[in-house]
Amino acid sequence: MVITAALCAVLGLNACADAPPGSAQASPISSTMAAQPDATAPGRVPVGVREVTWHRGNRPLRTLLLFPAVNAPGNPVPCPAPARITPQAGAAPRTGSYPLVLFSHGLHGSPEGYTPAAASWASAGFVVALPAYPFTNGKADPYVRRDMVNQPADAAFVLSKVIALDTTTGDPLAGHINTTRIAAVGHSAGGFTTTGLFRAGHDPRLVAGVVIAGWMAPGRFGGPPARLLFLHADNDKVIPIGDGRAAYDQTPWPKTFVALRGATHAAFMRPDKPGYADMDREVTSFLRRTLQQFDPT
C-alpha cells in the first residue's frame, strides 16, 4: 500500500515501518513503505466454510475453516473489498494452493464474531483457521480468563491439524493449502495468544504475525525470525496502546506498528464500523507481502 505522510493524516494512521532485526525503533513509514505497490489491488473471490473439531487432550477446539471457493450464490465475482462477504457452507475449494493464516479471538469472542474480517482475508487468497478456545470463548462453561496462557499451545496444535489436511487423502482441502509460509493473526487476547506463538522452537514455517489490540504473552520472542505487524487503536480503553507498543519494542525481528487514530478497542473489526477498511487494508496487504502475492485470475 502506498502511504505518504499526508495520506496517513487522511486515513487517521500513525505508523512506524519495518525496522531491521534487533532494532529498537523503526523508521518513519513514509520513507520505507512509500515505494511499495498496493497489495490489495487484485479482486476478491468467493469464500467457502466448513467446521471441524479437534481435541488437544481434554481441550476441544472447534474450528472454522474459510477458504477461496468456486462461485456460489450470493457472492459476486470479483468480490469488492472490503465488502461483507458471506462464506458458503458446502462450497468447493477454488483451484490452487493458498497460504495458511490462523486467527485467534479475544475474550468472550468466537470464530463467528470475527468471520466477516476473516472472510475478507480468505477472499484475498488465504485459508483462514479460526479456533474457539475452550475456556475463553463466549460460550465457555466454565469461563476461565487465566487459561489464556494455554492458548498459544492450542493455536500451534490447530495449525498442525490444518497443515495435515493438505496431505489427507479425500479431504476437501487436500492440495489446496500452501504450508510453506504461515501467518498468525489475533485480536485482543487473541493478540496475546499470537505473541505467545513466536517463542523459541516455533515452526519455522510460521513467518508472519499480526497482533491487533494485543499485548505480550509471558516470556520472550525466539526461534526463527518472523515479520510482525502491530495494529492498535490510540483510544483503546481496554488494552492501552502502550501495552501494544511494549510488545512491539520487545520484537527482535522486522516489525511495523500502526496506530488507528480515534478508534476504540474492537469496533474496527466490524465491517460496518469506522476503521474497518483501514484495518482490512493493512492486514490484507501485510499478509500478501509476507506470504505471497495472490492473483485470483
268-289 pLDDT, tens digit per residue, is: 999 988 899 999 999 999 999 9
- pLDDT for residue 83: 57
Amino acid at 3: I
Q: Where are the alpha helices (DSSP H) in 78-114?
A: none
Which pLDDT does position 296 carry in this prediction? 39
HEC letters along 63-87: EEEEEEECCCCCCCCCECCCCCCCC
Per the model's pLDDT, the better-predicted residue between 62 and 20 turns out to be 62
| pLDDT (0 to 100) of residue 252 | 97
Pair 44, 80: CB distance under 8 Å: yes
Max Cα–Cα distance, the chain, nearest Å: 52
Place of cell 529498537: 24
131 vs 129: CA distance, rounded Å:
6
Pairing of strands 47-56, 88-89: parallel
Q: What is the pTM of this model?
A: 0.83
Judge whether residue 17 has pLDDT over 80: no
Cα 260 from chain centroid?
A: 17
Q: What is the pLDDT of residue 43?
A: 67
Report in angstroms the alpha-carbon separations of 221 from 170, 218, 231. Answer: 37, 10, 18
pLDDT at 9: 30
Q: Are 222 and 197 in contact (CB under 8 A)?
A: no
pLDDT per residue over 105-151, tens digit each?
Answer: 999 999 999 999 999 999 999 999 999 999 999 999 999 999 999 99
Q: What span, in angstroms and rounded, lies between the C-alpha atoms of 179 and 166?
A: 8
pLDDT digits (tens, 9 = 90+) for 65-85: 999 998 755 544 555 455 578
- Number of neighbours of residue 195 by Cβ within 10 angstroms: 26
- When pLDDT is averaged across residues 83-91 and rounded to a whole number, the result is 85
Please state the rounded mean pLDDT for residues 212-216.
98
Question: Which domains does the chain show, CATH number per domain?
Answer: 44-290 (3.40.50.1820)
Determine the 3-state secondary structure of 109 from DSSP. strand
pLDDT beyond 90 at 95: yes
User: pLDDT of 24-53, one tens digit each?
Assistant: 333 222 222 222 333 334 568 899 999 999
Confidence of residue 165 (pLDDT cuts 50, 70, 90): very high
Mean pLDDT to the nearest integer, 232-257 = 96
d(CA 265, CA 44): 27
Q: Is the pLDDT of residue 10 over 60?
A: no
